[in-house]
């Protein structure tokens, strides 16, 4: 379905480095250029980085290995809960929270992956979905002492926070905020923290995709039966991919909790798992940059579209005659504000039907078009890497 | 004993709904080879057929209320009542059974449009892409319904006659112990009838025979000069009707809202997989089995031993079944192996 992972610049080590530097530059300067498209506020930028990470991790499993997990949000939720517990018990520093969230997510992924990966195809999807739903239902019911049920888990001034207690800086009056050694994780500092983690995550994903391990995963995707016949035991590889991808999700969950110390079970619901699938597909499964793009596009339009209301629409269409204006507003009103999911569904269907490779395939097609019109006969990076 | 029978019944009617949806899913999968994640949305559309019919029947005119003389008060009187008097009220009362009849052509048309307009382009694409595109379609349908009917559940009561509960205890000589709503009994018998109907249709008609042959070996049937694809399209329509009817009948049990379909979809997929992909009897068996197990798991006695079991039982069973019997309970060899 999707091409092998490739940067827009081929696959040599040097071009990878350039690609990474460009990516890092684009991410770090996001506050500058995002304000041009009306996205220049830290809240949204943080979401870009966090869901970008989530999608990168999901892509390692889905895009590289070809296993469609429908329960990945469970790891996101587990990561969030662990992070908030780390805030409550250890202290408001985000580093231990991130560390423990990744460890817990990895343990969960090991257990779930060990069982689910015994099957593939739709059975695998259903198994992961079943585990995610179990986690979600339990988080809402029996595990309320740990998850605080529907209210969600929050940080309270009266929490023990042992590390802060030892250092003698525990503030038991006001609600504490998360920090990185004193640097508060709200606003732009929070974004830059997420951005740096995103770049590291991107780098690791790139290394994985280029490594022999990554090649093995791609081989499993293209023909697992043949892999088995040639004597490879594919299970350790798929399990490793599942765990790595779960850790990414746990990391994303921890970052969500770091920028806003609250964890709720709704993060684990299967629609949340569906969302990360959408992001990956929209951007381009199997590509490095695609998932990040997909996540950014979805989160961007979610913010922009949900903010629209009839007033704004009326102004947009005020160049039309009045009756037409009302009709246009009524139709467009379906797709924005509360109804933004409708837009998402339509766009998603169009992408799957007409552009299964997502945005990245779109870019590649456009590139090809230009190459052809140049009339140049040199080899085409797109087809070579596809 | 009485608690046992009651839980059994509770499980059976829920199981009936699971079985109906799972049956449709399996029909579609077995014939077209398509994994239809929009099947829950069809269930939801059926439920909203009932809502629409009820709304249409109760279209009202504002009439001045003569009994209040202090100020101008208005009350709403349905047109049907002004036109036909008490007969009109009876018609309104029977909104759900009437919707049942109306839903058959409506769902058939929706199913055919869906198959011709979208699904047929996905016969040869990967299962992942089929899941994704139908998932997108489900989102679209559900958001459209939300835009039209709002996000709140809409109560659609059953006819007055069957509003009460049956005292089944009499059957066992212990009156008053097993009290069970009539409508749920009706639902159980209705689902059994529909399931029986579908099986009879496949088993005893020429059309059904061709469809079964096509499920076994599509190519050969095609070589015999039979237009299999058109028949499979109709099967999709039938599956849509089954899901829609399940939805219509479920409205008095649970007031429908726009994401009722998604809730049933996830469970129905688990049911299909437990029953064995592509096996019709498996889907029905697993539907009732999981319904009953879920109902027993929500008994207080069970919950006190294993807290939270009622929340996870279905998924737990699915995991266990897939580990022990990789093809599901009655799965055939060679269907979705992997």
CATH of the domain at A161: 1.10.3470
Percent of chain A with pLDDT over 70: 93
A351: in domain: no
Write out the DSSP string of A261-306. Answer: -EE-GGGGSHHHHHHHHHHHHHH-TT-SHHHHHHHHHHHHHHHHHH
Q: Which residues of B touch A (CB under 8 A)?
A: 35, 118, 121, 125-129, 131-133, 135-140, 143-144, 146-147, 262, 266, 269-270, 273, 277, 307-308, 311-312, 315-316, 318-319, 322-323, 326, 336, 338
Residue A253, pLDDT score: 94
From chain B, the residues in CB contact with A238 under 8 A are none
From chain A, the residues in CB contact with B132 under 8 A are 277, 281, 348, 352
From chain B, the residues in CB contact with A129 under 8 A are 266, 269-270
Rg (alpha carbons) of chain A, rounded to whole number: 22
- The region of weakest confidence among A9-13, A95-99, B179-183 is A9-13
Whether B139 sits inside 8 A of A134 (CB atoms) is no
Residue A143 has which token pair?
């595990």
- Does the structure show a pLDDT above 80 at A62? yes
Cα–Cα distance list, A1 to A64, A169, A347 (Å) = 11, 55, 18
Residue A6, pLDDT score: 47
Any chain B CB within 8 A of the CB of A353? yes
What is the β-pairing status of strands B60-64 and B74-78? antiparallel
Residues 6+ apart with CB under 8 A from A290: A59, A63, A280, A283, A284, A358, A359, A360
Whether B322 sits inside 8 A of A334 (CB atoms) is no
Helix B228-250 vs helix B206-216: angle between axes, to the nearest 10 degrees?
Answer: 110
Classify residue A309 as left (phi > 0), alpha (psi -120 to 50) or beta: beta
A363: in domain: no
For chain B, what are the domain ranges? 2-324
From chain B, the residues in CB contact with A138 under 8 A are 308, 311-312
Q: What's the gap in Å between the CA of A149 and the closest CA on chain B?
A: 13
The one-character DSSP state at B125 is S
DSSP H or E segment with residue B194: helix B182-204
The one-character DSSP state at B62 is E
- The region of weakest confidence among A101-110, A162-171, B179-188 is A162-171
SS3 B60: strand
* Of B125, B312, B323, Cβ closest to residue A118: B323
A167: in domain: yes
Residue A187, pLDDT score: 80
* Interface confidence: ipTM more than 0.95: no
**Which site among A116, A117, A118, A133 would you substitute to test the B interface, given the most B Cβ atoms closer than 10 Å to its Cβ?**
A133
Tell me: the pLDDT tens digits for A317-372?
777 777 777 777 777 777 777 777 888 888 888 888 888 888 888 888 898 888 87
Residue B95, pLDDT score: 84
Query: What phi, psi does A246 have (nearest 5°)?
Result: -65, -35
Tokens 């999709």: give the residue: B236
Provide the mean pLDDT of chain A: 84
- Does the structure show a pLDDT above 90 at B244? yes
- Does the structure show a pLDDT above 60 at A215? yes
From chain A, the residues in CB contact with B278 under 8 A are none
Cβ A359 vs Cβ A321: under 8 Å = no
Residue A242, pLDDT score: 96
Cβ B265 vs Cβ B138: under 8 Å = yes
Helix B228-250 vs helix B39-57: angle between axes, to the nearest 10 degrees?
Answer: 60
SS3 A93: strand
Q: How many CB atoms lie within 10 A of CB B200?
A: 11
Helix A42-59 vs helix A187-210: angle between axes, to the nearest 10 degrees?
Answer: 20
Tokens 């039309």: give the residue: A320
Cβ B32 vs Cβ B43: under 8 Å = no
Tokens 């294993």: give the residue: B306
| Residue A146 pLDDT class (50, 70, 90 cuts) | confident
Q: What b/e string do you get for B260-281 counting C-beta neighbours within 10 Å, with b at 16 or more? A: bbbebbbbbbbbbbbbbbbbbe
Q: How many CB atoms lie within 10 A of CB B225?
A: 6
Range of the domain at A26: 13-268
Provide the mean pLDDT of chain B: 85
Cβ B110 vs Cβ B141: under 8 Å = no
From chain B, the residues in CB contact with A356 under 8 A are 125, 129
The one-character DSSP state at A336 is S
Residue B38 has which token pair?
């929009």
The one-character DSSP state at A7 is B
- The region of weakest confidence among A156-160, A211-215, B46-50, B253-257 is A156-160
Residue A200, pLDDT score: 95
Whether B128 sits inside 8 A of A356 (CB atoms) is no
Query: Into how many domains does chain A fold?
Result: 1
Cα–Cα distance list, B155 to A149, B47, B257 (Å) = 28, 11, 9
Whether B318 sits inside 8 A of A126 (CB atoms) is yes
Residue A260 has which token pair?
């806003």
- The region of weakest confidence among A50-59, A213-222, B55-64 is B55-64
Mean per-residue pLDDT, A34-55: 87
- The region of weakest confidence among A173-182, B104-113, B138-147, B162-171 is B162-171
Q: What's the gap in Å between the CA of B133 and the closest CA on chain A?
A: 5
Q: What's the gap in Å between the CA of B120 and the closest CA on chain A?
A: 12
Residue A25 has which token pair?
């530059």
Residue B146 has which token pair?
């939300």
Residue B285, pLDDT score: 92
What is the β-pairing status of strands A153-154 and A262-263? antiparallel
Q: Nearest CA to A184 among A281, A266, A93?
A: A93
Distance of CA A294 to the CA centre of its chain: 9
How big, in percent rounded to 5, are the helix, strand and coil portions of chain B? Answer: 70, 5, 25
Q: What's the gap in Å between the CA of A122 and the closest CA on chain B?
A: 7
Q: How far apart are CA A311 and CA A331, in angstroms?
A: 14
């Amino acid at each position: 379905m999707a091409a092998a992972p490739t940067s827009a610049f081929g696959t040599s080590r040097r071009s990878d480095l350039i690609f990474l530097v460009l990516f890092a530059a684009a991410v770090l300067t996001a506050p500058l250029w995002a304000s041009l498209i009306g996205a220049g506020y830290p809240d949204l930028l943080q979401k870009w980085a966090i869901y970008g990470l989530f999608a990168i991790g999901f892509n390692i499993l889905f895009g590289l290995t070809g296993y469609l997990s429908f329960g990945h949000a469970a790891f996101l939720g587990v990561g969030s809960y662990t992070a908030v517990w780390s805030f409550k018990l250890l202290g408001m520093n985000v580093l231990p929270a991130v560390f423990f969230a990744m460890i817990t997510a990895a343990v969960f992924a090991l257990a779930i992956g060990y069982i689910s990966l015994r099957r593939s195809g739709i059975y695998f999807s259903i198994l992961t979905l079943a585990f995610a739903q179990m986690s979600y239902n339990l988080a809402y019911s029996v595990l309320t002492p740990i998850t605080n049920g529907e209210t969600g888990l929050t940080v309270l001034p009266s929490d023990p926070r042992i590390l802060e207690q030892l250092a003698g800086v525990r503030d038991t009056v006001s609600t504490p905020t998360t920090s990185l050694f004193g640097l508060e994780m709200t606003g732009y500092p929070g974004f830059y923290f997420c951005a740096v983690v995103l770049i590291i995550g991107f780098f690791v994903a790139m290394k994985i995709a280029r490594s022999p391990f990554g090649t093995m995963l791609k081989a499993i995707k293209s023909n697992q039966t043949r892999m088995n016949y040639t004597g490879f035991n594919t299970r350790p590889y798929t399990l490793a991919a599942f765990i790595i991808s779960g850790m990414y999700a746990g990391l994303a969950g921890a970052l969500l909790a770091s920028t806003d110390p609250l964890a709720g079970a709704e993060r684990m619901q299967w629609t949340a798992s569906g969302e990360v699938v959408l992001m990956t597909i929209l951007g381009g499964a199997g590509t490095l940059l695609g998932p990040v793009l997909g996540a950014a596009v979805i989160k961007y339009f979610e913010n922009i579209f949900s903010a629209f209301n009839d007033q704004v629409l009326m102004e947009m269409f005020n160049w039309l005659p009045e009756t037409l204006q009302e009709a246009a507003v009524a139709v467009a009103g379906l797709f924005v504000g509360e109804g933004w999911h409708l837009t998402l569904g339509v766009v998603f269907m169009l992408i799957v039907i007409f552009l299964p490779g997502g945005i990245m395939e779109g870019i590649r097609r456009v590139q090809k078009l230009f190459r052809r019109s140049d009339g140049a006969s040199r080899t085409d990076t797109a087809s070579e890497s596809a | 004993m009485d608690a046992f029978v009651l839980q059994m019944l509770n499980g059976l009617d829920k199981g009936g709904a699971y079985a109906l949806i799972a049956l449709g899913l399996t029909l579609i999968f077995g014939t077209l080879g398509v994994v239809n994640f929009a099947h829950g949305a069809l269930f939801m559309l059926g439920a909203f057929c009932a809502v629409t019919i009820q709304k249409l029947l109760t279209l009202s005119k504002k009439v001045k209320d003569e009994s209040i003389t202090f100020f101008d008060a208005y009350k709403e009187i349905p047109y049907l009542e002004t036109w036909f008097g008490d007969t009109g009220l009876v018609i309104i009362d029977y909104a759900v059974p009437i919707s049942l009849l109306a839903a058959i052509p409506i769902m058939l048309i929706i199913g055919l449009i869906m198959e011709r307009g979208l699904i047929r382009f996905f016969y040869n694409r990967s299962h992942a892409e089929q899941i994704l595109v139908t998932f997108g379609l489900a989102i679209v349908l559900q958001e459209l319904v939300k835009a039209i009917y709002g996000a709140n559940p809409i109560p659609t009561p059953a006819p007055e006659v069957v509003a009460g509960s049956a005292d089944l205890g009499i059957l066992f000589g212990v009156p008053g112990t097993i009290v069970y709503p009539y409508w749920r009994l009706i639902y159980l018998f209705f689902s059994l009838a529909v399931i029986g109907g579908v099986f009879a249709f496949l088993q005893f008609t020429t059309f059904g025979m061709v469809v079964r042959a096509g499920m076994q070996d599509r190519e050969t049937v095609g070589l015999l000069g039979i237009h299999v694809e058109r028949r499979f399209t109709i099967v999709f329509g039938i599956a849509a009707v089954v899901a829609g009817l399940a939805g219509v009948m479920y409205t008095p049990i649970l007031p429908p809202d726009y994401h009722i379909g998604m809730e049933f979809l996830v469970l129905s997929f688990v049911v299909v997989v437990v029953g064995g992909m592509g096996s019709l009897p498996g889907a029905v068996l697993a539907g009732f089995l999981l319904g009953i197990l879920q109902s027993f798991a929500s008994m207080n006695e069970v919950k006190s031993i294993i807290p939270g079991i009622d929340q996870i039982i279905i998924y737990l069973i699915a995991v266990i079944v897939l580990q022990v019997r990789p093809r599901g309970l009655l799965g055939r060899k060679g269907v979705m192996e992997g």
